[in-house]
Amino acid sequence: MLHVDLDQFIAAVEVLRRPELAGKPIIVGGRGDPAERAVVSTASYEARAFGVGSGMPLRVAARKAPQAVILPVDQAAYLAASETVMTTLRGQSGATVQVLGWDEAFVGIETDDPEAYTRRLQAAVLDQTRLRCSVGIGDTLVRAKVATGFGKPAGVFRLTAKNWLDVMGTRPTKDLWGVGTKVSGRLAKLGITTVAELGASDPEGLVPEFGPKMGPWYAELGRGDGTSVVDDTPWVARGHSRETTFQQDLTDPVHINDAVQELALRVMTEVSASAEGRPVVGLTLKVRYAPFFTKTHARRISATSDRNEILARTADLASGIEAGRPIRLLGLRAEMAMPDDARKGHTPTRGGW
pLDDT for the residue 347 = 37
- Please give the Cα distance from 134 to 6 (Å, whole number): 6
Does 2 map to a domain?
A: yes
Beta bridge partners of 194: 172
Q: Exposed, middle or buried by CB within 10 Å (0-12, 13-18, 19+), for 60?
A: middle
Does 352 map to a domain?
A: no
Does 121 map to a domain?
A: yes
The torsion region of residue 164 among left (phi > 0), alpha (psi -120 to 50) and beta comes to alpha
Please tell me whether residues 52 and 137 are part of one structural domain: yes
Half-sphere exposure of 326 (CA within 13 A, CB side): 9
Residue pLDDT, tens place only, 323-349: 989 999 999 999 998 766 544 444 333
Give the residue numbers spanning the domain of 125: 1-160
Does 353 map to a domain?
A: no
Please tell me whether residues 334 and 303 are part of one structural domain: yes
Please tell me whether residues 172 and 156 are part of one structural domain: no
Does 338 map to a domain?
A: yes
DSSP 8-state secondary structure symbol assigned to residue 261 = H
Residue pLDDT, tens place only, 86-106: 999 999 999 999 999 889 999
Which of 46, 37, 102, 40 lies closest to 71, judged by CA? Answer: 40
- Please give the Cα distance from 46 to 52 (Å, whole number): 9
What length does the chain have?
353
pLDDT for the residue 276 = 64
Please tell me whether residues 154 and 177 are part of one structural domain: no
Q: Exposed, middle or buried by CB within 10 Å (0-12, 13-18, 19+), for 267?
A: buried
Report the chain's mean pLDDT, rounded to a whole number.
91
Q: Is the pLDDT of residue 319 over 90?
A: yes
Does 349 map to a domain?
A: no
- Residues designated catalytic: 104
Please tell me whether residues 250 and 123 are part of one structural domain: no
Least confident interval from 34-38, 51-55, 128-132, 251-255: 34-38
Does 68 map to a domain?
A: yes
Does 233 map to a domain?
A: no
Direct distance between the N- and C-terminal alpha carbons of the chain, in angstroms, rounded to an integer: 29
Please report, as a single letter, which amino acid is at residue 114.
P
Residues 6+ apart with CB under 8 A from 350: 282, 284, 298, 300, 335
Least confident interval from 114-128, 186-200, 278-292: 278-292
Angle between helices 181-189 and 207-223 (to 10 degrees): 110
Q: Kind of pairing, strands 69-71 and 26-28? A: parallel
CA-CA-CA-CA torsion for 49, 54, 60, 65, nearest 10 degrees? 30
- Please give the Cα distance from 63 to 61 (Å, whole number): 5
Please tell me whether residues 172 and 86 are part of one structural domain: no
Order across the sheet with 156-159: list the strands.
96-101, 104-108, 2-6, 133-138, 156-159
Cβ–Cβ < 8 Å for 22, 122: no
DSSP 8-state secondary structure symbol assigned to residue 28 = E
Evaluate the omega torsion of the peptide bond into residue 153 and state whether it is cis, within 30 degrees of 0.
yes
Please tell me whether residues 18 and 141 are part of one structural domain: yes
Q: Is the pLDDT of residue 278 over 90?
A: no
- Please give the Cα distance from 52 to 54 (Å, whole number): 7
- Whole-angstrom CA distances from 44 to 69, 125, 156 are 10, 19, 20
Angle between helices 75-90 and 9-17 (to 10 degrees): 110
Mean pLDDT on 200-229: 95
Q: Number of structural domains, the chain?
A: 3
pLDDT for the residue 107 = 98
Angle between helices 75-90 and 114-129 (to 10 degrees): 140
**HEC string for 62-93:** HHHCCCCEEECCCHHHHHHHHHHHHHHHHCCC
CATH of the domain at 301: 3.30.1490.100
Please tell me whether residues 132 and 5 are part of one structural domain: yes
